[in-house]
A and B are shown apart, each in its own frame.
Chain A
Amino acid sequence: MTKLLASREALLMLAIAVLLGIIAWRFPAFVAPSNLFSVFNDTSPLILLAIGQMIVILTKCIDLSVAANLALTGMVVSLINIAAPGLSVFFIVLIAIGFGTLLGMFNGILVWKLAIPPIVVTLGTMTIFRGIIFLLTEGKWVNSHEMSDSFKSVPRTDLLGLPILSWIAISAVILFTIVMTRTSLGRAFYAAGGNPHAATYAGINVGKTQFWAFTISGAIAGLTGYLWVSRFAVAYVDVAAGFELTVVAACVIGGVSIMGGIGTVFGALLGALFLGIIANALPVVNISPFAQMAISGGAIIIAVILNAQANRTPGRIILKKAEHAT
């Protein structure tokens, strides 16, 4: 029990509670359930992407192309929607996931088969993906009036009091909690990042595991791409520009170790919520929204310091103190 309390997740939950408490003290309306639900809904895309990013980081990699993937996939489904307004949203979602998956696989194959460092690969694909959007559109925007109503409405549709967007985030949290804790692939992500050398001995193909991590991250980014453009009802080259770093930040704040092997879906969720609450609370508490960037920067630094303290090894335990106590 004490172990649970000392865990990274518990610490973060405490931080979120304190944060909410401080806000509620001055602005009780912020913690009204309806507002908290809207904060959650607002944070849903970040939650989704953070889960994908967490899996990639677990395997000692990083995916800087998620936001570009999101933007490109969002544009592709928007253009499909313009070309075929009658196509059901179900297929749009499938296309988004499928297209995102392909982009993720492209990253993954470069990391797996050519052993190019992930940061280089995704730095490159990030600019390439965004460039492709420009080639597709010559820089033009796809605006709200060009999108079909069903295309725009699905993520906003209420289901049991919550928009579908929120339900998708909740489902992803549950699905990936199961995947990460109860499937061989899920455990392989931890093993491949925690101790790649040993993973090879245990019959785990580290490169292939990293490939699957990028694939999952890509699939989630693709799905989020559709959700994003339909929610904001606009698609353009710079959609979610720079968001990849917010996603990494959510993971770091959520206790995911950049060295690989450490992190949970729950942690990524909390990290995303922490940033989401701050983003939504700033206007409420009359702090300029311009302060958001500095605050999340500070939060990342504090989180990484705390993570490092928690993971510090005290050295080998050789002395048997008890024997010499008497």
Chain B
Amino acid sequence: MSPSDAPILSLEKVTKTFPGVRALSEVSIDLYPGKVTALVGENGAGKSTVVKTLTGIYQPDGGEIRVDGVPVHFPTPQSAENAGVTAIHQETVLFDELSVAENIFLGHAPKGRSGLIDTHAMHQGAKEILDGLGAKIDPRAILKDLGTANKHLVAISRALSVDARVVIMDEPTAALSHAEIEELYELVDGLKAQGKAILFISHKFDEIFRIADNYTVFRDGQMVGDGAIADVTEAELVKMMVGRDVSQIFPERDRNLGAEVLNVTGYDHPTEFADIGFTLKRGEILGFYGLVGAGRSEFMQALFGTTKPSAGSVRVDGAEATIRSPADAVSHGIVYVPEDRGKQGAIVDLPIFQNVTLPSLKQTSRKGFLKMAEEFKLAREYTERLDLRAASLDTHVGSLSGGNQQKVVIAKWLATEPKVIILDEPTKGIDIGSKAAVHEFMAELAAQGLAVIMVSSEIPEIVGMSDRVIIMREGRIAAELSREDICPEVLVSHAAGITEATA
């Protein structure tokens, strides 16, 4: 065995538990110099926990981390950096009020002889790293003045500013355009050539097969397989990820489209979207597809009244509806299940039943006075329809799993007997079992005559569920496809703006 074949960094039977959850159980990963190891798994499989364990944010409860075969401890993020481990985190770990250079060097800024930060050296260093990425960003610029993609490049620069031997990339392409993703690949190739070990976390298979050398698959906090990418197929990876054969099955349903219930025309916003117009019928599932940041959620939130459009009108059942707040939207029968469940969807520190009845309090009360029995009745009716798993109805929503939290949010809205339900990434971050339940339920709702808008970035979900798809790009409607025309290639090419592919 030549020395270069020895792993730089190893996880050996690492276990991490949180109250009630075993996030990692005895997982082992080896990272080799000059190799990219892809870490693959469903949401909640434990990938982020690995990242946090390797960067000193979490401490493992069992097992060990080894660098060059020597056991190490990372009690703080600083100690991980000192050991040569750096990470591009999924959440942007950046500071709006600081300059680009300061963001890159926060915590390890170059110091002069006086012990003060050497601003000149810091700007110089930042410029070098940014140039190396091909990013034209002024190191002196204040971060908040940058766009999303540039912020992401700053985050990458921050990781590269540490003289690291191990680079962890946690879904680094999520916010990038196609061209930027290509540049990122080149960067990864460059890092490989320098002999750095890379842990690449992604759920996009094209990326994994493009740049990874090895793979490790996680399921429910356990390692279920690893090996060389060359020896595995996409189907095999998927099977390992979900633990069974899935050619994702979507519910069959009769399509009985009813009368038009929603008509949106000319919705504009100064910076977020322009000229959005469409109609929606009872019993219809309308998919909204697009890249992350195409303005879909922003438009939906304007339709729901949380932000103000500068122009546009909405008609519900043919009558003009003025929506200036979510309360207005709800009273017109339009409800919204947001992507950010913890912050916008559920009130996690309140009990389940109080979450469910929150928008329906008028119904469950008498003259403004609460009637607990009525509340429990309503909450039970809708949570049981959704097959909610919970110890009791006065359990706090925060203690439920992602899928069950989602069910509480949906139950909350169904209890208001809406006409239009907007589901923003309804299955993001929930386990496979709950996913199927959500899909089934969505079909059931449509069959009962509810109009459904489904914002999704998952192509199979869009293809499998939608009666019609609107594709958004850069804040505008790029295309509208009817059922017969929906296929993955067309969706992607419209979303990315590659017009030739449609021909």
Give A contacts to B, CB under 8 Å.
Answer: 178, 181-184, 187-188, 190-191, 194-195, 197-205, 261-262, 314-320, 323
Contacts and interface: CB of A to CB of B under 8 A. Distances in A.
Contacts of A320: 474-475
Contacts of B474: 318-320, 323
Interface of B: 55-57, 76-78, 81, 89, 91-98, 102, 106-107, 109, 115-117, 119, 147-148, 269-274, 293-295, 298, 307, 474-476
Contact of B273 (A194, A199, A203, A319): A319
Given A194-B96, A194-B97, A201 B78 contact: no
Contacts of B106: 187-188, 191, 202, 204
Contact of B270 (A199, A203, A205, A314): A314
Contact of A182 (B119, B293, B294, B295): B119
Contact of A315 (B76, B92, B307): B307
A129 to B, nearest CB: 32
Given A183-B116, A188-B106, 15 more contacts: A183-B115, A184-B107, A184-B117, A187-B98, A190-B95, A195-B96, A202-B77, A202-B107, A204-B107, A315-B270, A316-B148, A317-B147, A318-B298, A318-B475, A323-B474
Contacts of A323: 474
A205 B76 CA distance: 9
A197 B148 CA distance: 19
Given A191-B95, A191-B106, A203 B272 contact: no
Contacts of A315: 269-272, 298, 307
Contacts, number: 103
A204 B116 CA distance: 18
A2 B495 CA distance: 38
Contacts of B269: 315, 319
A318 B275 CA distance: 13
Contacts of B271: 314-319
Given A184-B107, A201-B89, A202-B77, A316 B97 contact: no
**Ranked 6 nearest A-B pairs via Cβ:** A203-B77, A203-B78, A318-B475, A182-B116, A201-B93, A198-B93
Contacts of A203: 56, 76-78, 81, 107
A105 to B, nearest CB: 22
Contact of A194 (B95, B109, B117, B476): B95
Nearest to B307: A315
Contacts of B77: 200-203
A91 B444 CA distance: 80
A202 B77 CA distance: 7
A201 B74 CA distance: 13
